[in-house]
Amino acid sequence: MSTEKLTEDDIGKDVVNANGATVGVVVSVEDGVAHVDADPDITDAVKAELGLNDVSEETFPLHPGDVSARTDGELRVTDVAGVDER
């Protein structure tokens, strides 16, 4: 698991579970915690890239310890409650 703080550079990245399924997109990062929209559409993805999305009831938090791998386009997660079922 990563202990690196999540940053604004992670906004717009797909969040992918252990099964390889995309479970959301990072829409904002506050104090090192990413907020993931679990049901994004193309508009949400574009808004995230432009920094126009905020934390809402439709997002869930993703902490640095939840991330098992990080690439330019995605954050891989394992053992995050509710994520593997999506």
Asked if residue 22 belongs to a domain, the reply is yes
Q: What is the CATH number of the domain that holds 44?
A: 2.30.30
Measured distance CA(76)–CA(5) in Å, rounded: 15
Domain limits for position 68: 8-77
pTM: 0.75
How many C-beta atoms lie closer than 10 Å to residue 41's C-beta?
10
51 closest CA partner among 73, 29, 36, 32: 29
Q: How far apart are CA 3 and CA 46, in angstroms?
A: 28
| Mean pLDDT along residues 19-42 | 85
pLDDT at 9: 94
Mean pLDDT over residues 18-31, rounded? Answer: 89
56 found inside a domain: yes
- DSSP run (H or E) holding 75: strand 74-77
Total count of domains within the chain: 1
Mean pLDDT value across the chain: 78
What does the block give as tokens for 22?
A: 């995309």
